[in-house]
Amino acid sequence: MSDASTPTNGNGPKSAYFLAHADEVTERRTLAVLVDNEPGVLARVVGLFSGRGYNIDSLTVAEVDASQHRSRITIVTQGTPHILEQIEAQLLRIVPVADVIDITNSKTGIERELALVKVAGTGEKRVEALRIAEIFRAHVIDTTNESFIFEVTGASEKLTQFVDLMRPLGLVEVSRTGVLSIKRGKEKG
């Protein structure tokens, strides 16, 4: 999912009358949004981003606590510090949103992504693909005489790097989960 929103200028607060903080630099931020798993909650969160013109670079969602009906949405977004502050505040306004955690700024945040990568080829290219997969600690989860499907996990940049290396070796298609995140240590949230 590259961009679920309308284009933004990404350089300041929204105002009909000029932008006051045009000098602020755009940052990338990973947010964990804990929500009540009720109908339409994902639409509320995604709709907020499109409605207010914020970016979504990646989005992952699943229920994480069935007894409490709690789901965790991980969103990778971009914006100036001012916009990012607004995004957090606006998310917290949504009635079923319980908490918003800034993983990027927490310093103890860990981000991981999983990709399934299909590569087809024969001969030297097939051997090279397997060799690179080993370096990236990718697992082969399906194989035919002419193809592999690799499962690779890690930081998003690592996955992108792996996919780039596979491209000349017969890359067919890629499926990625989007970023997941959690904090280090024994504390929750």
Q: Which is nearer to another protein, 86 or 147 (CB)?
A: 86
Whose Cβ is closer to another protein: residue 50's or residue 153's? 50
64 neighbors 72 (Cβ within 8 angstroms): yes
Positions in the binding site for another protein (CB under 8 A): 13-21, 35-36, 39-40, 43-44, 47-48, 51, 82, 85-86, 89-90, 92-93, 95-98
Which of 93, 186 has the CB closer to another protein? 93
CB of 164 vs another protein, minimal distance in Å = 38
Q: Which is nearer to another protein, 49 or 162 (CB)?
A: 49
Q: How far is the CB of 35 from another protein (least distance, A)?
A: 7
> Minimum Å distance from CB 13 to another protein?
6
User: For 53-88, b where at least 16 C-beta lie within 10 A, e where not — what string?
Assistant: ebbbbbbbbeeeeeeeeebbbbbbbbbbebbbebbe
